Amino acid sequence: MAAPPILLLTDIRQSFGNTVLLGGASLSVSPGERLALVGRNGSGKSTLLKIAAGLVDPDGGTRFLQPGATLRYLPQEPDLAGFATVRAYVEAGLAPGDDPYRADYLMQSLGLTGEEAPDRLSGGEARRAALARALAPSPDILLLDEPTNHLDLPAIEWLESELAQQRGALVLISHDRRFLEDLSRAMVWLDRGTTRRLERGFAHFEAWRDEVLEQEEAEAHKLARQIVREEHWLRYGVTARRKRNVKRLADLHTLRQRKRDRVGPQGSVRMAAAEADGSGSLVALAEGVEKRFGDRVVIRDLNTRVMRGDRIGIVGPNGAGKTTLLKLLTGELEPDAGTIRRGTGIEMVTLDQKREALPPATSLAEALTEGRGDMVHVNGQPRHVVGYMKDFLFLPEQGRTAVSALSGGERGRLMLARAFARPSNLLVLDEPTNDLDLETLDLLQELVADYGGTVLIVSHDRDFLDRTVTGVIAFEGEGRWQDYAGGYSDMVAQRGHGVRARAAEAASRPAPAAPRAPVPAATAARRLSFKEKHALETLPARMEKLNAEIALLRDKLADPALFTRDRAGFDRFSAGLAAREAELAAAEEEWLRLEMLREELEA
């Protein structure tokens, strides 16, 4: 018998002005469940999650939270105002009896010391602090709204591993397919104000969604044919000529009203990139390239070749130099050493990852036409701006909407629409998946796959890379980059692990020897801090647990039939193995560092 829900939303209704956002939505969360909440941008997912968290009162419906159950919520835009440090913000989320060491562990794992000033954090650092605050209490229910936003690949894979070990229930909103596939065990689809539930993981969502929409389309077609039949009878039937059958006439009006009232699936995005004449066969050839910023070498001895038609993904942790590498290949930056030879006839279009290329007061229509009338030229053919807007899910009345008033997802679609209207044979996409919903991502992937030119992509979305690129340039540490054939999963299979954090990479190599300076008396008397002692005591158990998990995963992957029988399971086990091996290596290095420090201090 299924456990009773600890959180239950029933018949939730919410409107904003005349717009009905939620028209009878429901959400049931039982202990230990793993739910993916999916739907289009603007469908009301975040609003429903806020209602579930008790932060928003709905216009109608009921919310039940089991007494005594603990709930934590991660918003898309965390607010750290009023806290002196990140540590104070994170520890404020702890309840009496919670383990304070867990807050330290989470902050350290997320690359934070706890002493950072909240008003000086970047968007990514603020998101990491909010994650530490939400995860620290180990709540009964964890509600996460886009937890992977602003996180790099090492942090995303660490978060996956951490959430997989959580015992509490989990409700996730995310546009990261791989993240949802690895963590979800059931789905709630929010569509046109109502919810549907499937007791299977996200890997089954698209097939299920298509089946539901096909059934709706069949029912709509059946309804339309019924209307035609009734109209035919009304006009030409013998009985109709003799006397009006009031009941059948009323039935016809009812059918017509049902058709008018029917809310069909939201429009689909239609994308087609305007392609320029082909470039030469060579796009870029780098030989012995080096790039420095001050004393730091970002690119060291780079040798790579990009040919016409290649689709290259560039991966690495935040701060590794991915955007710098992109700018070197496209000519926006020049190397400090080595040479880069670029091809001829290149017409490049770049999608800016910060979505800041347009003045805030520019209207949506002006952004698409660049202020030249009301026509957009796509593939040399003029199109009215309203029709082109519809291809990207914009309503006609949004033509005069200022860029500043658009949501993140709408701004992303606008930048895509602008990029794809321009003739090009080289697409440069720097984090193109930010804020895009799943349907838009589907079509963006199809566009990249069908594009006849060359594509350079910087992305932290593993599934997007697997579906689009033919090769990967990966950060290997110390400014070195390496080419791999295939997508992200192919790279992991070839190198044995995914993208590691720069901090872990720095910890895994010996520090350069430095001449010893005279040690002041106060420093000489230094002892291990409380946090260092705790880490030294707890790391062996953690390493033992990781070794056991690694052994279990290796046993699963040793099955020669696993790849053909269950490709998704093989990929999941491979990714889990890579993440745990990386975590074990980092834990061993940290334990060794602390043990050497302890021996030195005791000596």
What CATH number should be reported for the domain holding residue 371? 3.40.50.300
CA-CA distance, 36 to 24, in Å (whole number)? Answer: 19
Task: Please choose, from the candidates 522, 476, 186, 171, the residue with its C-alpha nearest in 3D space to the C-alpha of residue 315.
Answer: 476
- Asked if the structure places residue 383 within a domain, the reply is yes
The more confident residue out of 587 and 339 is 339
Residues 127 and 228 in one domain: no
Rounded-to-5 percentages of helix, strand, coil across the chain? 45, 20, 35
Strand partners, 10: 62
Q: Residue 563 sits in a domain of what CATH number?
A: 1.10.287.380
Pairing of strands 471-477, 480-485: antiparallel
Answer whether residue 37 shows pLDDT above 60: yes
> Based on the structure, what is the number of domains in the chain?
4
Residues 36 and 185 in one domain: yes
Residues 434 and 564 in one domain: no
Q: Structure pTM?
A: 0.65
What stretches of 197-314 show up as alpha helix (H) in DSSP?
205-236, 238-242, 246-261
Q: What is the DSSP letter of 176?
A: -
CA-CA distance, 582 to 492, in Å (whole number)? Answer: 12
Answer whether residue 247 shows pLDDT above 80: no
- Asked if the structure places residue 575 within a domain, the reply is yes
- Asked if the structure places residue 213 within a domain, the reply is no
Residues 392 and 287 in one domain: yes
**For residue 467, what are the CA distances in angstroms to 64, 194, 201, 312, 567?**
41, 30, 20, 12, 15
User: Confidence band (pLDDT; 50, 70, 90) for 506?
Assistant: very low
At 421-439, the pLDDT tens digits run: 888 889 898 888 876 777 7
Range with the lowest mean pLDDT among 239-243, 386-390, 484-488? 239-243
Residues 224 and 198 in one domain: no
**Burial annotation 257-287 (CB, 10 A radius, 16+ → b, else e):** eeeeeeeeebeebebebbbbeebeeebbbbe
Q: What is the CA radius of gyration of the chain?
A: 28
- Asked if the structure places residue 519 within a domain, the reply is no
Residues 356 and 233 in one domain: no
Model pLDDT, residue 265: 54
DSSP secondary structure, 339-386, as one string: EEEE-SS--EEEE-TT--SS-TT-BHHHHHHTTSTTEEEETTEEEEHH
Task: Please choose, from the candidates 462, 482, 445, the residue with its C-alpha nearest in 3D space to the C-alpha of residue 151.
Answer: 462
Q: What is the DSSP letter of 509?
A: S
Asked if 215 and 208 touch (Cβ cutoff 8 Å), the reply is no
At 296-307, the pLDDT tens digits run: 889 999 999 998
Give CB contacts under 8 A, 24+ apart, made by 318-324.
318/124, 318/152, 318/155, 318/502, 319/502, 320/475, 320/502, 321/291, 321/475, 321/479, 322/458, 322/475, 323/353, 323/430, 323/458, 324/291, 324/298, 324/299
Residues 198 and 303 in one domain: no
Residues 335 and 479 in one domain: yes
Residues 436 and 531 in one domain: no
The more confident residue out of 285 and 564 is 285
- What letter represents residue 66's amino acid? Q
> Average of pLDDT values for 141-159?
89
- Asked if the structure places residue 411 within a domain, the reply is yes
- What letter represents residue 560's amino acid? P
Q: How many CB atoms lie within 10 A of CB 519?
A: 10
- Asked if the structure places residue 504 within a domain, the reply is no
Q: Which of 114-118, 367-371, 509-513 has the highest mean pLDDT?
A: 114-118
Residues 420 and 480 in one domain: yes
CA-CA distance, 75 to 30, in Å (whole number)? Answer: 21
User: Confidence band (pLDDT; 50, 70, 90) for 519?
Assistant: very low
Name the helix (H) or strand (E) containing 188. strand 186-191
Domain that holds residue 557: 524-602
- Residue 4 DSSP SS3: coil
Q: What is the DSSP letter of 561?
A: T
At 346-394, the pLDDT tens digits run: 888 887 666 556 788 888 988 888 878 888 887 667 889 888 888 777 8
516, two tokens: 């010893």
Q: Sign of dihedral through CA atoms 102, 108, 114, 118? A: negative
At 440-462, the pLDDT tens digits run: 787 788 777 777 789 999 988 88
- Asked if the structure places residue 515 within a domain, the reply is no
Residues 42 and 151 in one domain: yes
The more confident residue out of 269 and 342 is 342
**For residue 447, what are the CA distances in angstroms to 273, 441, 488?**
7, 10, 19
What stretches of 13-85 show up as alpha helix (H) in DSSP?
45-53
- Asked if the structure places residue 212 within a domain, the reply is no
Task: Please choose, from the candidates 493, 499, 500, 463, the residue with its C-alpha nearest in 3D space to the C-alpha of residue 570.
Answer: 493
Residues 441 and 588 in one domain: no
